Amino acid sequence: MTGWVNPLRDKRDKRMPRIAGPCGIVIFGVTGDLSRKKLMPAIYDLANRGLLPASFSLVGFARRDWADEDFGQVVYEAVKKHARTPFRQEVWDRLAEGFRFVQGTFDDDAAFARLAETLEKLDAERGTGGNHAFYLSIPPKAFQQVCEQLQKSGLARPQEGRWSRVVIEKPFGHDLQSARELNAVVNSVFPEESVFRIDHYLGKETVQNILALRFANEFYEPIWNNNYVDSVQITMAEDIGLGGRAGYYDGVGAARDVIQNHLLQLLALTAMEEPASFGPHELQAEKIKVLSATQAVQPFDQTTARGQYAAGWQGSEKVVGLLEEEGFSKDSTTETYAAIMLDVDTRRWAGVPFFLRTGKRLGRRVTEIALIFKRAPHLPFDKTMTEELGQNALVIRVQPDEGITTRFGSKVPGTAMEVRDVNMDFSYGSAFAEDSPEAYERLILDVLFGEPSLFPVNREVELSWEILDPVLDYWATHGKPEAYEAGTWGPASADEMLHRVGREWRRP
């Protein structure tokens, strides 16, 4: 595989920053939100951190009638508004020299010929070395056309010693069948090792820290199993609504948008066995194994819940319900909250329910993975002394306020032996001086290195749909989402779902 280095044989000092070799990126869908808010700023931040080669070039492809300078202005505004690191004129000036814009539509052969010409010129003038990443920040229905155009114009299969990679954003299909079709289309043009599927959660520091926590330490491993863990709760709660996103979200819903990808990836990293190394094949093999052992628990009327936000208060702001949001059909049954219960049928996890939930317009923005431990088998205290003792928990705080919390019982100061829950916290903010890079910085850089570990492969995507499809099929034919007031923690049915099995959702 071009560019990829076997981590077992790689003797480099991994603490030294590695700079991408000569290359460029072409973004399709350059006028979209993702491009302005995430991709352009991440590219600047990488340049600012000195991680891009001097020859780096960025080519925008879109329908707009723009000159290179107009495109540059759009990138400039995006960087000024959304970049993580401070603006430095000299970094910007150097980066901007490599900006080009190609005007065209996806069905226009001549535009792709111009793109090929532009890239060839950049190779010659700036020394991009014939190495190009094609970032498809476009709706999946356009993937086929763009891939075929890249093939026709000779851009998908470069000469020996050069590379050509395609980066695709979710949604990877809307069920197993369509995901297979989509993969077939992409793989008919790009070999699997040149396909980089973005699940931006894998680019987050706190998500990679799951691996450090589990596999660099000794004291978690003995308790990381069904002998000690009672249940696992993975929560991704957002306070934002869906104004402006109807085009993508209506008919998709929370389960497809977030559970199929981000939350099942978090589950895989939490539940998988230790890989032989962090090489892509080893890591993917473990994720595939654990996803193959995972299934949604039946019957779904008892083990799943879904909701749709109604009007309510978000802090001091009055907000409308989904059906009043611009662009949503008035009888939309799209869920904005989804919760499911899963079994992971492995020796480590048999009998431990995994609860996954996500929602928009909830009480606050928080993503966390909580391992909730069994109660001590015996408490040598009077009942009244442990009334305020809950279950021990280990919480990986993915965002915001990134870190880890351990929750356990402690004696309340005083003459009585009263025991109450307390928290012990690790916070990235106070433990480390440097800020965490944005997920997209890490992932874009990995694409340029050809380092695939943090990108789900075809099989993972398909397995995730295999897990979710039965629930989606059930929902499609049984009722509709229950309304919940914006600013609350979701529909009552989600609470009932846990009460039925003697558990309660955490209130982060």
Would you tell me which residues interact with ligand BG6 (CB under 6 A)? Answer: 200, 238, 257-258
Report whether 360 belongs to an annotated binding site.
yes
Q: What residues contact 499, with CB distance under 8 A and at least 6 apart?
A: none
CB of 258 to ligand BG6, least distance (A): 6
CB of 321 to ligand BG6, least distance (A): 17
CB of 257 to ligand BG6, least distance (A): 5
Q: Which is nearer to ligand BG6, 95 or 182 (CB)?
A: 182
Measured distance between the N- and C-terminal CA atoms of the chain, rounded to whole angstroms: 43
Q: Which is nearer to ligand BG6, 132 or 197 (CB)?
A: 197
Report whether 318 belongs to an annotated binding site.
no
Report whether 63 belongs to an annotated binding site.
yes
Report whether 170 belongs to an annotated binding site.
yes
Q: What residues contact 316, with CB distance under 8 A and at least 6 apart?
A: none
Residue with tokens 């009888």: 331
The three-state secondary structure class of 169 is strand
Nearest to 432 by CA among 210, 221, 209, 234: 209
What amino acid is encoded at 433 in this protein?
A
CB of 200 to ligand BG6, least distance (A): 6
Active site residues per annotation? 262
Distance of CA 231 to the CA centre of its chain: 23
- Please give the Cα distance from 446 to 433 (Å, whole number): 24
Q: What residues contact 378, with CB distance under 8 A and at least 6 apart?
A: none
Q: Which is nearer to ligand BG6, 241 or 321 (CB)?
A: 241
Q: Which is nearer to ligand BG6, 258 or 283 (CB)?
A: 258
Q: Which is nearer to ligand BG6, 165 or 245 (CB)?
A: 245
What is the secondary structure of 34-74 as a DSSP string? HIIIIIHHHHHHHHHTT-S-TT-EEEEEESS---HHHHHHH
Nearest to 135 by CA among 195, 203, 75: 195
Q: Which is nearer to ligand BG6, 45 or 238 (CB)?
A: 238
Q: Which is nearer to ligand BG6, 402 or 418 (CB)?
A: 402
CB of 439 to ligand BG6, least distance (A): 7
Report whether 204 belongs to an annotated binding site.
yes
- Please give the Cα distance from 56 to 420 (Å, whole number): 57
- Please give the Cα distance from 176 to 167 (Å, whole number): 20
Tokens matching residue 386: 């442990």
Element at 465 (helix H, strand E): helix 458-477
Q: What residues contact 24, with CB distance under 8 A and at least 6 apart?
A: 55, 56, 57, 58, 59, 98, 119, 122, 126, 128, 131, 132, 133
Report whether 14 belongs to an annotated binding site.
no
CB of 71 to ligand BG6, least distance (A): 25
Q: What residues contact 216, with CB distance under 8 A and at least 6 apart?
A: none
Q: What residues contact 178, with CB distance under 8 A and at least 6 apart?
A: none
Report whether 152 belongs to an annotated binding site.
no
Q: Which is nearer to ligand BG6, 238 or 286 (CB)?
A: 238
Burial label for 122, CB within 10 Å (0-12, 13-18, 19+), is buried
CB of 314 to ligand BG6, least distance (A): 15
Backbone Cα Rg of the chain: 24
Contact 41, 82 (CB under 8 A): yes
Q: What residues contact 239, with CB distance under 8 A and at least 6 apart?
A: 314, 361, 362, 363, 364, 365, 487
CB of 203 to ligand BG6, least distance (A): 9
Residue with tokens 């299969």: 157
The 10 Å Cβ neighbour count of residue 175 is: 15
Q: Measured at CB, which residue is nearest to ligand BG6?
A: 257
- Please give the Cα distance from 324 to 243 (Å, whole number): 9
Annotated binding site for substrate: 200, 204, 238, 257, 360
Enumerate the known binding-site residues for NADP(+): 63, 170
For the annotated binding site, the residues are 63, 170, 200, 204, 238, 257, 360
